[in-house]
Amino acid sequence: MEGNSETGERTRKRVRRGYERLAYGGIADAVRLLFTEEPDLAALDKMDLYNIAEIKRPKGGGMEIKFFDRIKALQSLEELSETGGDVLPLYRTLQECAKSFSGEEDGV
């Protein structure tokens, strides 16, 4: 079972890093993309576009970029801090239920 707790901890750290990138990440590359007429694939590969939720190119020309909501990311980070990082309560509940069926836990 130690492997599951290690996997859960890695997942929690990964989720936290993702929220931190959304909350505090820069938008310089997105602005650069906005002003580029036809970006090449090599340039796109080097850009940090992590916090972009959606990109549209309307028929009339130009480009629309929507970002993930920084406030929601900050709120999620706050919730992680308050709950001690337990971001997967449903997963944990299912895990406990599976233990009871497999006989790993006493009493059931």
Residues in contact with 44: Cβ distance below 8 Å, sequence separation at least 6, in sequence order: 33
Q: Which two tokens stand for residue 81?
A: 């801090």
- The tens digit of pLDDT for each residue in 61-74 reads 889 999 999 999 99
Q: Which two tokens stand for residue 91?
A: 């997963």
- The tens digit of pLDDT for each residue in 33-59 reads 999 888 889 999 999 999 999 999 899
Residues in contact with 52: Cβ distance below 8 Å, sequence separation at least 6, in sequence order: 30, 65, 66, 67, 68
Residue 108: per-residue pLDDT: 41
* E strands in 1-108: 52-56, 64-67
Identity of the residue numbered 15: V
